[in-house]
């Protein structure tokens, strides 16, 4: 009976997370409320509070899910290839991050706000998955660039993951923003998230490449 209840709880939590994800594709974080999420689920707004106390907890669960899928993608790259050049590694990583647009959109928000409105147990669950993602990236770097030092790998990770916070705002430019850029006379180059991530990884791998050549 306990297993059935746990399975049912997981199914209902996933329904709430999926509803939030669907809404987030066309709505902003501020526009989405527990009430709005309840409208696209099979149960009432009040019932949602049995699983999540705030909308921030729902978004944190969605972000956790996105990182879990990203981690799985990195593990597939690790298992698929014996060797990768800096060029190919940048391409492979840019591809898997590029398809996680929801992740890029969420991380462009303030993590402090999201976590400050979530219970400690939810934050711990998220941190565990995020930690696995970082470990997967480090494992890939160690495999494909074996001569690189731990310091270089750490520098890569602590430069790359914070960089992701700015990808979405630079690539998901609204028509109003485009008009403002045009009227302000700013010279602005439009890039896709793939291009930004690819360029960032190539730049961060510069020292790795030197080590491999030496």
For 29-72, the three-class secondary structure string (H helix, E strand, C coil) is CCCCCHHHHHHCCCCCHHHHCCCCCCHHHHHHHHHHHHHHHHHH
For residues 187 and 78, the model is more confident at: 78
Q: What is the mean pLDDT of the chain?
A: 91
Q: Map tokens 């991530």 to a residue.
A: 197
Share of the chain above pLDDT 90, in %: 76
User: Is the confidence at residue 158, as pLDDT, over 80?
Assistant: yes
User: Is the confidence at residue 211, as pLDDT, over 80?
Assistant: no
pLDDT band at 214 (very low <50, low <70, confident <90, very high): very low
User: Do 74 and 129 meet the contact criterion of CB atoms below 8 Å apart?
Assistant: no
Buried b (16+ CB within 10 A) or exposed e, 83-121: ebebeebbbbbbebbbebbbbbbbbbbeeeebbeebeee
pLDDT for the residue 209? 57
**CA 164 to CA 171: how far, in whole Å?**
11
User: Is the confidence at residue 150, as pLDDT, over 60?
Assistant: yes
pLDDT for the residue 195? 97
Share of the chain above pLDDT 70, in %: 95
pLDDT in tens, 99-121: 999 999 999 987 788 999 999 99
């Amino acid at each position: 009976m306990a297993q059935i209840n746990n399975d049912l709880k997981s199914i209902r939590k996933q329904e709430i997370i999926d509803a939030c994800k669907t809404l987030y594709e066309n709505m902003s974080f501020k526009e989405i409320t527990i009430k709005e999420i309840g409208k696209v689920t099979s149960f009432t707004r009040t019932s949602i509070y049995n699983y999540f106390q705030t909308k921030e907890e729902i978004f944190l669960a969605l972000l956790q899910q996105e990182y879990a899928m990203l981690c799985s993608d990195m593990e597939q790259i690790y298992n698929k290839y014996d060797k990768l050049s800096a060029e190919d590694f940048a391409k492979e990583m840019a591809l898997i991050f590029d398809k996680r647009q929801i992740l890029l959109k969420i991380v462009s928000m303030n993590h402090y706000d999201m976590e400050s409105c979530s219970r400690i147990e939810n934050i711990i669950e998220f941190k565990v998955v995020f930690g696995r993602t970082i470990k997967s990236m480090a494992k890939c770097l160690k495999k494909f660039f074996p001569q690189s030092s731990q310091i270089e790998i750490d520098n890569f990770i602590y430069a790359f993951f914070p960089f992701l916070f700015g990808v979405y705002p630079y690539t998901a430019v609204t028509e109003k923003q485009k008009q403002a850029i045009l009227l302000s006379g700013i010279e602005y180059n439009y890039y896709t998230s793939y291009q930004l991530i690819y360029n960032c990884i190539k730049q961060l791998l510069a020292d790795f490449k030197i080590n491999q050549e030496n």
